[in-house]
Structure 1
């Protein structure tokens, strides 16, 4: 069973959250930070596995996504004047709710894709008992700077307009290495996942606005700049997960590099794992049970080390 409610934000808006907390004797809590063009409802199966292992799960629908968006027109839009800072504050509000309700439980974050970039900035300000970053990566700084400059030009004209050009640029080449012709082949090898994503009105059909892409590019840039990497608390355990066929992580190349960057910045407990043949959405992939068990095992280990 899932409990649903809304939390008030710093700027007078509301964010929708789901809470899976039917656990007799909880041993920890997981805050899920979802990716682009999706929503917290897609994590129900993962949440059920975590509940079985004793972990309470709470996840929000980000601004412009899921049931936080108040209308179809709002789907895929984030006001650039608020942008990344408001998204970070929203995650802080969710964490505050968690800490008020479950003050003594070990606190973990699971963040996927866009959510992983937001979380990489979030943990420069807030610690946790463990952070799992899935489907993350490293993007060329010059390319990001150019993309941000381009998005700013569009924002000046109309921040709320759906931007097909930036959408194509953001996903350029993601499907080129796969034999399937489905537009979401890059997400998972499972054709049922591909089709479900395409048909979900809160996922596949969404085209981001200029304001959203401006926020996304800024989030990725902020996640990668040296001063932010060096601001991650040294004692925070981090688990990096990616598939060898995930285009966001440049097919397994980025995660080892990110692990090195974090270690060189002083983070003492960084682990990474690559899943052979897996694509972008590890918990929706063929072999997802292994991924989920790996995450649970890691959290149980970190919980015992507190």
Structure 2
């Protein structure tokens, strides 16, 4: 059964949760952590497939996104001073809810894009039975420094101002390699998906504020610091997934680099897969059924390994 509930964040914000729990004999629970300019409900098809495989699924709308935004003025906004830490704490709150509600089940994380940058830091302090990072990547430090310099100046004037410039900076050139003549075709080859994304009031029309971008650049910077890699638990199983045509992951180049950085840090169980011709949103791609099954097979293998079932 699909349901939506509100969960109190530590600062009193009502986090909006999407829950798919129609599972007769569950073997695990999956916490989905979505990307920027989207919301948890977009993962419904993936969640339903996970349900069929025995996994309960919960996805929150991040603060400032989807139904967790206070109102339309706050859609795409994060507090300029605490936004990144707030988002991290929100995911801790969701995990605590899952541990209390489903205490005996294996616990997995599926984190996409911006969600992956948040959770690459999250896993340094919070345990899981396995983590899947989808559509993650690396960014050149000069670009991040420039972004942080610009946002530091701008948040002093108006942290809630929408920034077309920063939006372009964050997505610079993403659509250039593709021929569909649509601004969101870099997300997936499935035209029905990127057209629906454009029309979704919680997705395409959302342009982040300077406060949001200030936090985004910080999240990316922290996620790729050597100290972050070194702090990942050595026994944590990690699966990295990307499309060969995903501009966020620099067209398949970043995923092997992230895997190597984790391995050099001593993480013992790191696997990655690149899907040929796939773009950014693997769970919405033409090859999504293969992606779904790959994730399910990987999680089942970890459950068997750790003796949960």
**TM-score of the alignment, normalized to the shorter chain, above 0.5:** yes
Aligned residue for 2:135? 135
CA distance in 1, matches of 2:18, 2:195: 24
Residue deviations 1:126-177, cap 9 Å, x none? 0110000000001111221121111111111100111111001111100000
Aligned residue for 2:105? 105
Mean CA deviation greater in 89-98 or 64-73: 64-73
SS at structure 2 position matched to 1:81: coil
Mean CA deviation greater in 70-79 or 41-50: 70-79
Give the CA deviation at 1:14. Answer: 1.4
Mean CA deviation greater in 5-14 or 228-237: 5-14
Aligned residue for 2:234? 234
Aligned residue for 1:68? 68
Q: How many residues align?
A: 306
Kindly indicate whether residue 283 of structure 2 is the aligned counterpart of residue 283 of structure 1.
yes
Give the CA deviation at 1:27. Answer: 0.4
Spell out the pairing of 1:25-104 with structure 2 (5 A cutoff). Answer: 25-104=25-104
Give the CA deviation at 1:206. Answer: 0.2
Aligned residue for 1:250? 250
CA distance in 2, matches of 1:2, 1:67: 16
Kindly indicate whether residue 7 of structure 2 is the aligned counterpart of residue 17 of structure 1.
no
SS at structure 2 position matched to 1:173: coil
Give the CA deviation at 1:70. Answer: 2.1
Task: State the superposition RMSD in angstroms.
Answer: 0.6
CA distance in 1, matches of 2:155, 2:70: 21
CA distance in 1, matches of 2:152, 2:182: 31
CA distance in 2, matches of 1:143, 1:265: 25
CA distance in 2, matches of 1:279, 1:202: 21
SS at structure 2 position matched to 1:67: helix
CA distance in 2, matches of 1:207, 1:239: 30
Give the CA deviation at 1:293. Answer: 0.4
Aligned residue for 1:152? 152
Give the CA deviation at 1:9. Answer: 1.1
SS at structure 2 position matched to 1:305: helix
CA distance in 2, matches of 1:96, 1:18: 16
Residue deviations 1:194-246, cap 9 Å, x none? 10000001100000000000010000001001111100000100000000000
Aligned residue for 2:189? 189
Structure 1 length-normalised TM: 0.99
CA distance in 2, matches of 1:44, 1:32: 11
Give the CA deviation at 1:81. Answer: 1.7
CA distance in 2, matches of 1:238, 1:158: 39
CA distance in 2, matches of 1:194, 1:83: 28
